[in-house]
Homo-oligomer: A and B are copies of this chain.
Amino acid sequence: MMKFTINRDTFIKTLNDVSRAIATKTTIPILTGLKLDLTADQLTMTGSDADISIEASIPVTQDTAALQIAEPGSIVLPSRFFTEIVKRLPEKEMTITVTDTQQAVITSGQSEFTINGQISDEYPLLPEIAADHSLQLPADVLREVIAQTVIAVSTQDSRPILTGVHIVIHDGALLAVATDTHRLSQRVVRLDGAGDADYDINIPGRSLTELARTIPDTVATIDVRIAENQVLFRLGDTAFFSRLLEGNYPDTQRLLPTEHTTALTVAADAFQAAIERASLLSHESRNNVVRLVLTPEANTAVLSSTSPDVGTVQEEIAFKTLTGDTLDISFNPDYMKDALRVVGPSDVTMAFTSALRPFTIEPAEATSQFIQLITPIRTF
């Protein structure tokens, strides 16, 4: 007979965080549910889709929660439906009472819902991750590294390892890299105080995307614990678990070109706008390519695209610098859009070797330790 009363806004906030992990479709039906665990001093909510699990607690000491615990206990409730009810209740507070037959009675003001739950013993246990090896990461750095690498993660299941971001922690630095074989994105950050931590893991891209959404603005440092096949990110009162991908990530270092013959530096936002215009036409044609013709001798860079049905677009790009050999190269504008978006509004340098070899995209400030690679498309 679990029973508690709580401030609805506080409850909803935590519920929203946990809901990110809750499965909508799953082969394990109980994972579509939200698990509530009430002890003498806190309420814990858990959501999971087997790949990602989120556990968040509201302590009885938290003033805004106004948590009154009448009797500890636990239950699993149908999450989508329970969430809709909680959001529409009339009063500031609500009370949840669980009966012996696993029914939850939710009351607020004159409103009373009775919904069928499931016994919490049937809910899978979260992995235990030893506390002895942990690593601290600044939240903003983690968010940036995730944003810059997940764009290049593969969405195809044919090579599962490529659906993850490869993360190597070694010698006081973190290297994150992802590639779907058409493009690659790699970011390196110094880790002050990482000590002799030494890890080589592959985290599913989807887990990292959800993690980035879950990190609250109020959390400055994230505690990371890595086990055999799981990683745990601790964000204040929230624990975010993800399974790791098994297997060895391919060697990506050999893919990075060491020299170039043509280089173009442009303002990322202006070039982005031109790419978006050109992609209006490329999206109307079968092969979705834009063409960039660089003529350093004539001091021109011309972007163009053609759709036989609809028409053509051509635009002279205003650049900062253009050096090296003449080049005529074609590529997928959507890859370029993603790449420019995560570079941000700074200047960006693209370095090319030939029309058929991958080219690099880097922020013009050489110290960024952020490099992207796009494979061109053969059009002849």
Sort chain A's interface into a size bin: 20 to 34
A316 CB contacts on chain B under 8 angstroms: 110
A115 within 8 A of B: yes
A321 within 8 A of B: no
Judged by a CB distance under 8 angstroms, whether A280 is at the interface is yes
- Residue contact B311 to A114, C-beta cutoff 8 Å: yes
A311 to B103, CA, bound (A): 9
Give CA–CA (A311, B113) in the complex, Å.
7
Is A193 among interface residues, defined by CB-CB distance under 8 A? Answer: no
Is A221's CB within 8 Å of the partner chain B?
Answer: no
Which candidate, A82-90, A184-192, A340-348, A355-363, is the interface stretch facing chain B? A82-90
Contacts of A310 in B (CB 8 A): 78, 81, 115-116
Across the two chains, which residue of chain B brings its CB closest to A316?
Answer: B110
User: Given known contacts A110-B318, A318-B110, is B85 in contact with A277 (CB within 8 Å)?
Assistant: yes
Known contacts A88-B280, A284-B81, A310-B81; A315/B111 CB under 8 A: yes
Q: Does A126 contact B (CB under 8 A)?
A: no
Rounded to whole angstroms, the CA-CA distance of A90 and B113 in the bound complex is: 55
Quick check: is A274 within 8 A (CB to CB) of the other chain? yes
Q: Give complex CA distance A259, B110 in Å.
A: 31
Given A81-B284, A284-B81, also A312-B114 (CB < 8 A):
yes
A314 part of interface (Cβ distance < 8 Å): yes
* Chain B: minimal CB distance from A264 (Å): 16
Partner of A314, one of B88, B90, B112, B276: B112
- List the number of copies, as a whole number: 2
| 272-320 of chain A: CB within 8 A of chain B | 273-274, 276-277, 280-281, 284, 309-318
A187 to B295, CA, bound (A): 69
Residue of B nearest to A273 (CB): B90
- Nearest CB of B to A281, in Å: 8
Residue of B nearest to A284 (CB): B81
Q: Is the CB of B313 within 8 A of A112?
A: yes
| Mask: chain A, 101-118; 1 = CB below 8 Å from B; 0 = not | 001000000111111100
When distances are taken between beta carbons in the complex, the residues of chain B under 8 Å from A312 are 113-114
| Besides A90-B274, A112-B313, A113-B313, 13 new A-B residue pairs in contact (Cβ under 8 A), listed by A number | A81-B284, A85-B277, A85-B313, A89-B277, A90-B277, A110-B317, A112-B315, A113-B277, A113-B281, A114-B312, A115-B310, A116-B310, A116-B311
A-B contact pairs, 16 of them (CB 8 A): A81-B310, A84-B280, A85-B277, A85-B313, A88-B273, A110-B315, A110-B318, A111-B313, A112-B314, A112-B315, A113-B311, A113-B312, A113-B313, A116-B309, A116-B310, A116-B311
